[in-house]
Amino acid sequence: MLCVVFHFLPGNADFLCTNMSSSVGKWEEGRFPDGGISKECVALVQRVCPGVVETARWRPGTRGTTAIATFINDGRYCGHAAILDSCDEDGIWVYDQWNRAPIRRRNYTAGRRVPAEQCGRGSVYTVDDFYTINVGR
């Protein structure tokens, strides 16, 4: 599992990247400074994440600590929020709490998304239910 939230200077903005599900098995090509074609990892990130600059300007941002929440397909909040800590082959690790459990670090794994009618009703969420939080008007 790959889990990356990009922060770049100036402004340390998060970069939203194109949904990659339809690109599996394909290549995104970039160009090396000498004009040669690149199929490396940076080419992928620069092509699908608008605004990502050359690697010489990259700096590490805050590791993890990104606010995430569960949402249903129509974009409505679905009952749970957490702080993303990290991810590994087992899923994502977050810090969360709820009215019967204090703050703890726990793991969410892949699985079937929660149906809309079950949001916030003792649902067992999976990695696929979580998104970063954007604030609308």
Catalytic residue among 78, 80, 87, 119: 80
CA separation, residue 114 to residues 80, 84, 91, 98, 130 (Å)? 12, 19, 16, 18, 11
80 given a catalytic annotation: yes
**Counts of helices then strands in the chain (DSSP H, E):** 1, 9
Catalytic residue among 3, 7, 41, 119: 41
Q: What angle do CA 119, 84, 91 make, to 5 degrees?
A: 80
Amino acid at 29: E
Tell me, yes or no, if 41 is annotated catalytic. Answer: yes
Catalytic residue IDs: 41, 80
